Amino acid sequence: MDRLRPRNRPVFFGFTNAEIEKMEKLLKDSGEESLGKEFCQRLTKSFNRSSGRAGKPVIKWTEIQSWFQTRLPEPPEVPKNKLTHTNGLVSKEGIIRDPSELEFEARSSKDGAWYDVEKFLAHRFLSTGEAEVRVRFVGFGAEEDEWVNIKDAVRERSVPLENTECSNLKVGDPVLCFQERRDQAIYYDAHVLEIQRKMHDIRGCRCLFLIRYDHDNSEEKVRLRRLCRSPRS
Ligand SMILES: [Zn+2]
């Protein structure tokens, strides 16, 4: 019967009844979270330390993760007629575009900043009918994967504003502004409040832009090179 086993999934039936009961409860309470490496490692430690494990083989965290994997429901297929948004991920015909054709950024719910998307891992629908995708961020590992709302938190990657585009920028325009935080580049949505126009010289745009960040309403004066715009504007 080996042929019927799902490929790449080590089959391991060495859990005690108490361990299975505990995992079933965690699965119900935590759902997707139970697939996380840290989550599984913590649980593995507690199992291996418990008296019920005495004299039995030590459990590996990957065995716990596989157990959760086989019990979590697969993400549903996206019904094409439900997709009506226009953020570039879905074409006018309602077909999900191959993400390799386009580059995307997604807003993390942890800090509200936008990060480049490396790939889309899965999608699902909430009971409200809203669609979500699970994204892997560029430069981050699986432990930072997040479910994000397709409509509000995924869009085509923003592009830096060129010196020649300065004159198109108006008060009230939405921009994506680069913030330097420790060693990390963080991009937040913002709006232009005020523009101090200056003569452009050989170094390009010398104008100053007063912007207000959407997430915390803080204001900052920045140069054009720190601003990006939507590729569609
Ligand atoms: Zn300028």
pLDDT digits (tens, 9 = 90+) for 185-232: 689 999 999 999 999 988 899 999 999 999 999 999 999 999 999 987
Q: What's this model's pTM, rounded to 2 decimal places?
A: 0.57
- Please report which residue ranges of the chain form alpha helices under DSSP H: 17-30, 37-49, 61-71, 150-153
Which pLDDT value is given to residue 157? 93
Give residue 88 CA to ligand 1 midpoint distance, Å: 29
Give residue 193 CA to ligand 1 midpoint distance, Å: 15
Which pLDDT value is given to residue 125? 92
Give residue 166 CA to ligand 1 midpoint distance, Å: 5
Give residue 209 CA to ligand 1 midpoint distance, Å: 9
Q: How much of the chain, in percent, has pLDDT values that exceed 70?
A: 79
Which pLDDT value is given to residue 13? 52
- Least confident window among 83-97, 98-112, 123-137, 171-185: 83-97
For residue 1, name the pLDDT band (cuts at 50, 70, 90). Answer: very low
- What is the C-alpha to C-alpha distance for residues 14 and 12, in angstroms, rounded to an integer? 6
Give residue 199 CA to ligand 1 midpoint distance, Å: 7
The domains found in the chain, sorted by start residue, are: 2-71 (no CATH), 80-156 (2.40.50.40), 159-229 (2.30.30.140)
What burial letters (b/e) apply to 184-206, b meaning 16+ CB within 10 Å?
eebbbbbebeebeeeeeeeeebe
> What average pLDDT score do residues 156-178 get?
94
Which pLDDT value is given to residue 110? 92
Run of H or E including 229? strand 227-229
What SS3 class is residue 142? helix
Which pLDDT value is given to residue 96? 54
For residue 98, name the pLDDT band (cuts at 50, 70, 90). Answer: low
Which pLDDT value is given to residue 2? 33
Give residue 196 CA to ligand 1 midpoint distance, Å: 8
